[in-house]
Each structure stands twice: as structure tokens, then as C-alpha cells.
């Protein structure tokens, strides 16, 4: 089969190669890959900044994959030939509490991912794709959508009428806007671009704050909520900006720590945290059970993932470069042409 392989650090070391098509073990399936989508994680792995010691080996990159089951092991019971499935990043985290360390079992690094004609998945690490989505759309779900869902629904038990703040218009935040507004929440979104603000408004955000023009956006959030603050914040920015989120939070609200685009260390005012009785929740994507539940919700509410651009298999490097430049919506690579 044809496959892209990470052979070292940097996109110049991502090579298109011929590889033996793998054979599924007893509890594994082989899928014909239809499409993959890129996440910040895929870029950071190629840059050498994401768990570099764990990723210091050759593998097929990209974790978010959709494909059709074409072969399966003798002990597979959950799936059948012809099923269209998406990959599940933390392959051993099925439900309940996560294991001690899920990263070594993740796909798209350090284990083979989906940027190849075929891919092996553990039967337990495959999820039926929502029927209302195209291959390209379904490929966007495993990381960005599940991260937003797991934060707001699994941990946050989001209710209609509550208010959610999303930071920026990256992949996770756009899904958070769509999920939260489908569930009847009010959504406030920050962005650096008025143009993107209008786009995110069409997806369900009711209030937009430009965080470049209004650096103290937390004051604006308080004004918009009559001084009460918001019940849920998807924190993708991190750094000392966490203090702004605490200020914008309602009493006993949740801050989901998803990303750290502005820094991994944070100097937090603990008094403001305790006075708000804030709940700070670390997020590491999510488990498979929640993924199944999320897919049902995507079907029920007819949520359509936002795609910026679809590249061909041969254009994989250009797709990575596009991700690095920034996009509105997901960057997808079509692996098997229709």
C-alpha cells in the first residue's frame, strides 16, 4: 500500500513510501482509509514538540481517520465488513477513568495512523461514523469534536440556558460552538478576526468579542452576562490568561483546560479561584463511550462539521502547511478518491 511515513522531525522528513498492507490480528480490523483530518497534535508531532521521546520512531502519521472495514480478525464481534468507522485516539480508553498513561497506545504517533491506503484498528478503538456525514466530515470528529463534547457534556453536563465561552475559532472551539448551541446554550466566542466572528455567529454563537481590539475581554463577558459570568469556559489559550477566564466565570463554573496556545505555565490568582469556587478540569480528549454518544447527538441535531479545505493524498504536505498558517474549520486529506 501507499503510505506517508514520519521518518524524522520536520515536514521534509515525511515521505510517501510503499509499505506492506498490514494483516489484522484476532481482535483487529483492517480499514480502507477514506479520509483523515489534521489536528494541532499532528503538526506538533512533525515539529518534534509533542512528546518527542515517545514520538522518536517511524510511523504513519495522523490520528483522525475514517474508513470502511474490509477485513477483520476471527474474534471481532462489534463490527462487520462494510461498516464505516472512525478511529478513536486513546485506543485503550473505552469508558470510565483513563489508564495511567494513554499516550503510548495512541494512533498517529507513536502507533501507525491513517495517512495510508489501509490502517489497522483494534476493534475496540473503532466507532461507527454518523450516517448523516460525508467521509470528509466524519474524519474531523475523533479529536477536536470529542474534546469539545467531553468537556461540555461529559464533565460539564451542559444544560439548555447556560452560557458557554469559547476562545478563538480553532477546530475545538468551532465544534464547541456547534455542540453548545445545539444543546440550547448561549455561546460567547472570542476571536482576533471580525470576519471569523461573523462566520462563528452563523454557527450559533450569539455574542462575539474581538480579543485584539478588546484585550480585557473578560470585562465584556461580565457586561454581556449582567455581571454573572459564564458557566463553562473552554480554555485553549492558557498561560496567565487563565486569570481572565476566572474573572469571566460564574460562581461554581467550569474551566476546561484544553490547550495552552499562550503558554504551559500559569501564574494564577488563587484567591479569585477559590472565591468563585471555580472548577478547573483538565481535558485529554475523551473515551470511546462518549464518542459513540456524541455521534448519536450529531445525527440527532444534524451537526455538520466545518471544513476549510480538502487536499488530495499526494498533497499531504501542503495540508500540513495550511494547518500551520491557520484555517477556519478543519483541514482534511481525501485518501481514497470517490
Q: Which residues bind ligand NAP (CB under 6 A)?
A: 39-40, 143-144, 147, 167-173, 190-193, 196, 211, 236-237, 258-262, 283-285, 326
Tell me whether residue 143 or residue 332 sits nearer to ligand NAP (CB atom): 143
CB of 313 to ligand NAP, least distance (A): 22
What is each CA distance from 7 to 13, 46, 141, in whole angstroms? 5, 10, 27
In the complex with ligand NAP, the residue whose CB is nearer, 24 or 113, is 113
Task: Give me the least distance between CB of 172 and ligand NAP, in Å please.
Answer: 4
Q: Which is nearer to ligand NAP, 114 or 170 (CB)?
A: 170
Grid cell, residue 195, equals 470576519
The C-alpha atoms of residue 230 and residue 228 are separated, in whole angstroms, by 7
The closest alpha carbon to 235, from 222, 245, 250, 243, belongs to 245
Contact 307, 330 (CB under 8 A): yes
Q: How far is the CB of 83 from ligand NAP (least distance, A)?
A: 26
332/310 Cα distance (integer angstroms): 5
Whichever of 7 and 210 has its CB closer to ligand NAP, that residue is 210
Write down the least CB distance from residue 324 to ligand NAP, Å.
Answer: 9
Q: Which residue is nearest to ligand NAP (CB)?
A: 170
Shortest distance, position 159 Cβ to ligand NAP, whole Å: 23
Q: Considering beta carbons, is residue 194 or 299 the nearer one to ligand NAP? A: 194
476493534: which residue's cell? 123
CB of 27 to ligand NAP, least distance (A): 26
Cβ nearer to ligand NAP, comparing 47 with 293: 47
**Calpha distance 42→68 (Å, rounded):** 22
Between CA 291 and CA 295, with CA 292 as vertex, the angle to 5 degrees is 85
The beta-strand segments (E) located in the chain are: 2-6, 14-18, 28-37, 64-72, 84-87, 118-122, 126-128, 163-167, 186-191, 207-210, 230-235, 249-257, 279-282, 307-312, 330-334
292's grid cell: 459513540
**What Å distances lie between residue 140 and 22, 39, 198, CA to CA?**
24, 9, 22
Residue number with CB closer to ligand NAP (68 or 158): 158
Residue 80 CB, shortest distance to ligand NAP, in Å, is: 31
Amino acid at each position: 500500500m501507499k503510505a506517508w511515513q514520519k521518518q524524522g522531525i520536520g515536514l521534509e522528513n515525511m515521505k510517501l513510501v510503499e509499505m506492506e498492507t498490514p494483516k489484522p490480528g484476532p481482535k483487529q480490523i483492517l480499514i480502507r482509509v477514506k479520509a483523515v483530518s489534521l489536528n494541532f497534535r499532528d503538526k506538533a508531532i512533525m515539529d518534534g514538540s509533542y512528546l518527542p521521546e515517545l514520538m522518536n520512531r517511524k510511523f504513519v502519521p495522523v490520528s483522525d481517520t475514517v474508513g470502511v472495514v474490509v477485513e477483520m480478525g476471527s474474534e471481532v464481534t462489534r463490527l462487520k465488513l462494510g461498516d464505516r468507522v472512525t478511529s478513536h485516539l486513546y485506543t485503550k480508553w473505552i469508558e470510565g477513568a483513563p489508564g495511567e498513561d494513554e499516550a503510548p497506545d495512541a494512533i498517529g504517533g507513536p502507533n501507525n495512523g491513517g495517512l495510508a491506503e489501509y490502517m489497522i484498528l483494534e476493534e475496540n478503538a473503532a466507532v461507527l461514523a454518523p450516517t448523516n456525514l460525508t467521509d470528509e466530515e466524519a474524519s474531523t470528529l475523533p479529536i477536536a469534536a470529542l474534546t469539545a463534547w467531553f468537556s461540555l457534556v461529559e464533565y460539564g453536563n451542559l444544560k439548555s440556558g447556560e452560557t458557554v465561552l469559547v476562545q478563538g475559532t480553532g477546530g475545538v472551539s468551532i465544534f464547541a460552538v456547534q455542540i453548545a448551541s445545539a444543546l440550547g446554550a448561549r455561546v460567547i466566542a472570542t476571536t482576533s478576526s471580525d470576519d471569523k466572528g461573523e462566520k462563528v455567529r452563523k454557527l450559533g454563537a450569539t455574542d462575539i468579542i474581538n480579543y485584539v481590539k478588546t484585550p480585557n475581554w473578560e470585562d465584556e463577558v461580565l457586561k454581556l452576562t449582567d455581571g454573572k459570568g459564564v458557566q463553562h469556559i473552554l480554555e485553549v489559550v492558557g498561560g496567565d490568561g487563565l486569570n481572565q477566564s476566572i474573572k469571566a466565570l460564574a460562581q461554581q463554573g467550569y474551566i476546561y483546560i484544553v490547550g495552552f496556545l499562550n503558554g504551559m505555565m500559569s501564574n494564577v490568582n488563587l484567591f479569585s479561584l477559590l472565591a468563585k469556587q471555580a472548577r478547573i478540569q483538565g481535558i485529554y480528549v475523551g473515551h470511546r463511550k462518549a464518542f459513540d454518544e456524541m455521534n448519536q447527538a450529531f445525527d440527532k441535531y444534524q451537526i455538520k462539521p466545518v471544513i476549510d479545505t480538502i487536499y488530495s493524498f499526494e498533497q499531504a504536505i501542503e495540508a500540513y502547511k495550511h494547518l500551520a498558517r491557520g484555517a477556519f474549520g478543519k483541514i482534511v486529506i481525501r485518501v481514497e478518491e470517490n
